[in-house]
Amino acid sequence: MSPEQAAGDHDRLGPPSDVYSMGGILYHLLSGKAPHDRTAQGVRFRQLVDPMPPPLSELAPDAPPELVAIAEKAMQRAPEDRYPDMIGMAEDLRAYLEGRVVLAHRTGLVIELRKWMQRNRALAAALLAVVVLTASGLAAISLITTSKNRELRQRNDDLAAETERANRQRDLASERATEVLRLSDLRNLETLGEEAETLWPPRRETIPSLQEWIDSAEDLADQIPVHRASIATLQEAIKEAEASSGAPLDDPSHVPEAQLRWWLETESRLVERLEAFLLGKGSTLENVRYRLTVASTIEMMTIEDQRDAWSAAAERVRGHALYGGLELEPIIGLVPLGPDPVTTLEELWFPESGKPPVRDEETGRWIIAEDTGLVFVLLPGGTFTQGIDPSQPHYSPAILQNATPPSAVTLAPFLLSKYEVTQGQWIRLTGENPSEYAGESDSMRRPVERMTWLAALLWLSRRALELPTEAQWEYACRAGTPGFWYTGDEPSEMAKIGNCGDRSYNEKYQGSFPAEPWFDGWITSAPVGSYEPNPFGLHDVHGNVFEWCRDLFLPYTLPARSGDGFRDTEDPTKYLAGDYRVARGGCFYVPASFCGSAVRAQYPSVHTDQTLGVRPIVVGWPKK
């Protein structure tokens, strides 16, 4: 890594930065050691920025001085003191292989003449002979004409052989230099991979960066045929090396078979990675092209084409008593669906996650098919009591960890998913499905699970979504109700509203928790929306899978932030033994008592199992 790259000075990055990296490789080859020993105790990036690495003259005293000079010039601290680009460095390497003057080493008439004589010994000797013959007198020429003609013919033959050998050496040097330059494509591939991770969310402001990335990726894809041709050439060279392995080691055209095989293996792996990254279905290039399409059309599709729908939704929200005069402005990436026929709360569709939902004509509820997208509910703001009083029914310190003392929390309106994210929606949003219960006939309608808190946070942020705070989650779950569950304090009601640890699960898996006495119809997770909704129209807030929240697992003695109820601390170690995050709602194998509105679970942010899912909110809300 060049000093300017290590220092994060992106404005100075350019071809000289690649020259520095190649110089480091040459340094390693000559000395047997990396320029900076990253295994040493206490090594920091600062070592790449200020001190020079140990001189090659100390580490490799027997190394050819021309190669030492090339490495030192390539690794100059200031970019302007290095070769201007890889072509310049390749020319010096070729000069060394061909026995010409290396510009980084030294120049001058005497040196040029000496190098020429080393490259053209036969011709130099012939010229010297002519000078000697001239000085000896023309009279002697007639006496030795026959002998000299024979000698000159022999020397001409030697000169032709020397020229042929020099041509082979030149071709070999050119080929090696070309291969070195092509290996820079590996770095370009890695750089594009890193940049692709940053080009989110697909919105208008990311269009220039997405297009620039695609142009660079297509330029790299154009090099794949070149690499394939190089692989074919290397394969032929290996065959020739196998057929005639008797070439002397001092022959300039001699390349060890092992070296050729290394080049072949390296370039073959590169082509495999390039093809996977740039070609075909599911490639990163295809994904970024799709992001560009979304970024270019999302505003038109969700705003321009939906002006009437947004106007009607804004009017309904403005006049709705629960929303308190909230002004609903169009949100890029969402499309109004109208109010829920029972709750009258506004609902919106998220097109990037799938097709619009269709209502069941009899029940008025959405039919969640495999290809249905996310539905968000605009929840009204308000003040509620988070936590539980120890005097309430079903209170247990073992179940309600740190859920006391109850405290009043004020929230602004926010947009929360009506359902847990399904496996089908997660695949469309991320291209991945980590779920344990994938592959079932109804798995695309089941909640996605086996995701870590970190993965959920990352992927949701790429789509302008995020995890709710646990205050937002509990407020949404309670929906204005004070009981242990939103149905009240009677556990048997859970058979209607949530998928918890019932007899069907216990009989199949012999769970570690006592089973509820009923059969709820599902042994593991159920398709989202299988149970009755709460008063806000939200499904599966009790049971099915736990749902990640944004917060650390902190006590309620810490204040909740007004607006979203987020709790934070400058010193998590005072309360936590690690990075533990909150999950809410219970799951399909725990009893109803573990699925209460105030029940809190804690897991490390890297933990994953088949009971952990997600119910996102929209970034940019709450709105005051």
DSSP string, 467-497: PPPHHHHHHHHHTT--SSBTTBS-GGGHHHH
- Spatial neighbors of 39 by CB under 8 A, at least 6 apart, are none
Q: Tell whether pTM > 0.75.
A: no
By C-alpha distance, which of 564, 378, 342, 609 is closest to 473?
A: 564
Beta strands, E only, 230-352: 335-339, 346-350
**CA–CA gap between residue 421 and residue 448 (Å, rounded):** 6
- Answer for the pair 330, 348: CB distance below 8 angstroms, yes or no: no
Residue 249: what pLDDT?
A: 41
**CA–CA gap between residue 350 and residue 429 (Å, rounded):** 11
Q: Are strands 546-552 and 612-613 parallel, antiparallel or unpaired?
A: parallel
**CA–CA gap between residue 551 and residue 560 (Å, rounded):** 11
The single-letter DSSP state of residue 570 is: S
- Spatial neighbors of 610 by CB under 8 A, at least 6 apart, are 435, 436, 437, 449, 450, 524, 525, 545
**CA–CA gap between residue 572 and residue 556 (Å, rounded):** 14
- Answer for the pair 497, 531: CB distance below 8 angstroms, yes or no: yes
The type of residue at 572 is P
**CA–CA gap between residue 230 and residue 173 (Å, rounded):** 15
By C-alpha distance, which of 443, 445, 423 is closest to 432?
A: 423
In angstroms, the first-to-last Cα distance of the chain is 48
Residue 378 phi/psi, 5-degree rounding, is: -85, 105
- Answer for the pair 390, 404: CB distance below 8 angstroms, yes or no: yes
**CA–CA gap between residue 287 and residue 482 (Å, rounded):** 46
Residues lower than pLDDT 70 in the chain: 37-51, 106-149, 152, 163-183, 245-256, 511-512, 621-624
Whether residue 405 is preceded by a cis peptide bond, meaning omega within 30 degrees of 0, is yes
Residue carrying the six token digits 């403005």: 318
What three-state secondary structure class fits 1? coil
Residue 117: what pLDDT?
A: 61
CA 305 vs CA 295, 297, 301, 353, 402: distances in Å: 15, 11, 5, 18, 48
- Answer for the pair 409, 560: CB distance below 8 angstroms, yes or no: yes
By C-alpha distance, which of 442, 606, 604 is closest to 529?
A: 442
Could you give the count of Cα atoms lying within 13 Å of 92 in the half-sphere of its Cβ?
Answer: 26
**CA–CA gap between residue 35 and residue 25 (Å, rounded):** 9
What three-state secondary structure class fits 19? helix
Beta strands, E only, 310-406: 335-339, 346-350, 358-359, 366-367, 374-379, 382-386
The type of residue at 423 is Q
- Answer for the pair 379, 536: CB distance below 8 angstroms, yes or no: yes
- Answer for the pair 610, 440: CB distance below 8 angstroms, yes or no: no
